[in-house]
Amino acid sequence: MDFAMSETTLGEAAERYLSSLGAGSERARASIDAFVRRWFKPEAPLSDLNPRDIERYVESLGSSEEGRRQAEELRNFLSQLRRWKLIDQNLAQHVRVPRSRPARQGPAPDLPPIEMTAEGYAALQQELESLKAQRPLIADEIRRAALDKDFRENAPLQAAREKLSHLETRIRELESMLRRAVIISDRGDGQRVQLGSTVEVRNLATDQVLRYTIVGPAEADSKAGKISSASPVGRALLDRREGEEVEVEVPAGRLRLRVERIE
């Protein structure tokens, strides 16, 4: 097919570019698709591309890690279009990727493994997929907010960028936790409190019976009765048997608890 500049649409050029990348181009496709479909239109001719719109789009991406990656993908795309002689201008030079913070010198520290239950691991996976699905929605918010040309006093644009930054931070946290996860599936014989055990304890001062499930720090949820194995109570209960008593220092004072039942 003869791709002449006067006839080629942005959508056609994008498909040609992405096809040339072959397998493993999913991230590039997502970035180029956001540019083509949410900022311009696939049916727009390449002659509609201009430096001002390119700069506005790149500015709308912000300086987050994800924004820098998308800008890099766009620059590669525009550079290839010029090599193919589909555009006359060097539009890639108008993609000014914000600089990232310099990395600290020295080797990255080895992060410790994170013990968690299979249920906790599945919940983190579900949260990660949910957050990734929000990326294009927030990108669309940024695009719509950036239609206001005054970026300096554009509160919706700043809010959308901040939302994307928080989203990317949480995604990185979840990906790190899942990489380091060690799933504890063996809950023992039920004779001792272990990670994943559900235990009933009696507060010896009030005679109140409390029910906890001991989980890893990443899946603790006090409202659901899931306490971290690293918390004062969780740490004190680990490896205890039914009938054993423990004393725990908490902000409210000292607790005396007796293990009544282990599940």
Burial label for 260, CB within 10 Å (0-12, 13-18, 19+), is: middle
Q: Is residue 16 part of a domain?
A: yes
Query: Which of residues 121 and 153 earns the better pLDDT score?
Result: 121
Is 182 in contact with 114 (CB distance < 8 Å)?
yes
What confidence score (pLDDT) does residue 160 get? 81
Model confidence at 202: pLDDT above 90: yes
Query: Which of residues 98 and 180 earns the better pLDDT score?
Result: 180
Question: How many structural domains are present in the chain?
Answer: 3
What confidence score (pLDDT) does residue 216 get? 86
Residues of the chain with pLDDT > 90, as a percent, come to 21
Judge if 176 and 133 occupy the same domain: yes
Judge if 2 and 69 occupy the same domain: yes
Q: What is the pTM of this model?
A: 0.56
Model confidence at 193: pLDDT above 70: yes
What confidence score (pLDDT) does residue 99 get? 63
Query: Which of residues 72 and 186 earns the better pLDDT score?
Result: 72
Query: Which of residues 187 and 110 earns the better pLDDT score?
Result: 110
Mean pLDDT of the chain: 82
Single residue among 71, 98, 125 that ends a domain in this structure: 98
Place of tokens 């006067």: 6
What confidence score (pLDDT) does residue 102 get? 47
Q: How many residues does the chain have?
A: 263
User: What residues make up the domain containing 85?
Assistant: 1-98
Q: How confident is the model at residue 247 (pLDDT cuts 50, 70, 90)?
A: very high
Judge if 60 and 118 occupy the same domain: no
Q: What is the pLDDT of residues 214-233, one digit of tens each?
A: 998 888 888 888 998 888 89
Nearest Cα neighbor of 170 from 58, 28, 98, 64 is 64
CATH number of the domain that residue 136 is part of: 1.10.287.180
Q: How confident is the model at residue 106 (pLDDT cuts 50, 70, 90)?
A: very low
What confidence score (pLDDT) does residue 126 get? 92
Model confidence at 91: pLDDT above 60: yes
Q: How confident is the model at residue 212 (pLDDT cuts 50, 70, 90)?
A: very high
Q: Is residue 219 part of a domain?
A: yes
Model confidence at 236: pLDDT above 60: yes
Q: Is residue 243 part of a domain?
A: yes
Judge if 92 and 121 occupy the same domain: no
Judge if 116 and 180 occupy the same domain: yes
Angle at 249 between CA 246 and CA 250, to 5 degrees: 120
Q: Is residue 193 part of a domain?
A: no
Q: Is residue 244 part of a domain?
A: yes
Query: Which of residues 33 and 125 earns the better pLDDT score?
Result: 125
* Rounded Cα gap, residues 249 and 254, in angstroms: 5
Model confidence at 207: pLDDT above 90: yes
What confidence score (pLDDT) does residue 223 get? 85
Q: Is residue 23 part of a domain?
A: yes
Q: How confident is the model at residue 168 (pLDDT cuts 50, 70, 90)?
A: confident
Task: Tokens for 180, please give them.
Answer: 């380091």
Q: What is the mean pLDDT of residues 9-21?
A: 88
CATH number of the domain that residue 241 is part of: 3.10.50.30
Task: Tokens for 169, please give them.
Answer: 């931070």
Q: What is the mean pLDDT of residues 59-81?
A: 83
